[in-house]
Amino acid sequence: MPLYTGFNTILPPNREIVLSAARDDCWGVLPPSSYHQGGVSIAMVDGSVRFISDEIDAGNDHVPSVHLDSPTPPGSHSPYGVWGAMGTRASSELDSFEKVP
């Protein structure tokens, strides 16, 4: 049940949840949510926990996500800005963003 166990990086944190059906066992656009004011705490792959602001650069949420038979096919950079790049596995978008100390 993705609604309870995961999230994706299409919409920025604490935005609306969009489900494919009116059930909790379906797929959808599932941004992380939190009771924290202004953002969410995210566990990173390296074990660290980071606070991600609701105001993170999330690109254009009207562009189709990266998938087969899409205007943005696999291998394309995420159209969802820094937030979308953080959710990719191997496209290396973060390499093109300036590193912040």
Q: What is the pTM of this model?
A: 0.73
Alpha-helix residue ranges (DSSP H) falling in the chain: 2-5, 81-86
CB atoms within 10 A of CB 10: 22
DSSP 3-state assignment of 101?
coil
| Encoded tokens for 93 | 């978008």
pLDDT of residue 98: 47
Confidence of residue 14 (pLDDT cuts 50, 70, 90): very high
Query: Among residues 59, 52, 44, which one has the least CA distance to residue 14?
Result: 52
